[in-house]
Amino acid sequence: MNITVTVNGRPYTRDVEPRLLLVHFLRDELDLTGTHWGCDTSNCGACVVWLDEVPVKSCTVLAVMASGKEVRTVEGLERDGELDPVQQGFTECHGLQCGFCTPGMLMTSRWLLDRSPDPSEAEIREAVSGQICRCTGYENIVRSVRWAAEHSSREVAQ
């Protein structure tokens, strides 16, 4: 069936089977391979994208469900060539090793900071508790999000 999904502000129209999952629509139909396809069972969180401003696991959403809606992926984080503070934080604090979980971690972290600009360590851990870093680099992921929080608020203050 014909669907139109707005991804990172740009509408895409495609003819898809109803059984196509959103993660595969993004990666295979739109070539937006920043979103990673991981466990396929909504456990690992590598595939997290925003659907109408809310993070969801895109391996458990049908592409047809996103028709007429707005999707934001990791490719939509940077603005005018500037990395988002969470991307910068992961760079500064060694928040990734293999990088497989990173897109999902970034999307959830951005959402957390939008709602809670100065989150505690416990809040950060709770926010990413549905996402698995198989390198077990959680300490640095938490530090990266804190870095983003501190540097975002500094920018606002300036």
Q: Which is nearer to other proteins, 54 or 156 (CB)?
A: 54
Axis-axis angle for helices 138-157, 85-92 (nearest 10): 130
- Helix, strand, or coil (residue 77): coil
CA-CA distance, 28 to 92, in Å (whole number)? 31
Distance CA 145, CA 69 (A): 28
**Closest distance of CB 149 from other proteins, Å:** 17
Shortest separation between residue 35's beta carbon and other proteins, angstroms: 13
By beta-carbon proximity to other proteins, the closer residue of 80 and 145 is 145
Shortest Å, Cβ 130 to other proteins: 3
Cα distance from N-terminal residue to C-terminal residue, the chain = 49
| Location of structure tokens 């604090």 | 93
Which residue number, 2 or 158, has a Cβ lying nearer to other proteins? 2
Query: Longest C-alpha distance within the chain, in Å?
Result: 49
* Closest of 99, 110, 104 to residue 134, by C-alpha: 99
**Based on CB atoms, which residue is closest to other proteins, 44 or 93?**
44
**Distance (Å, whole) CA 121 – CA 152:** 16
Q: Which is nearer to other proteins, 49 or 96 (CB)?
A: 49
Q: For binding to other proteins (CB under 8 A), which residues are involved?
A: 1, 17-21, 24, 40-42, 45, 48, 54-57, 60-62, 64-65, 67, 108, 126-127, 129-131
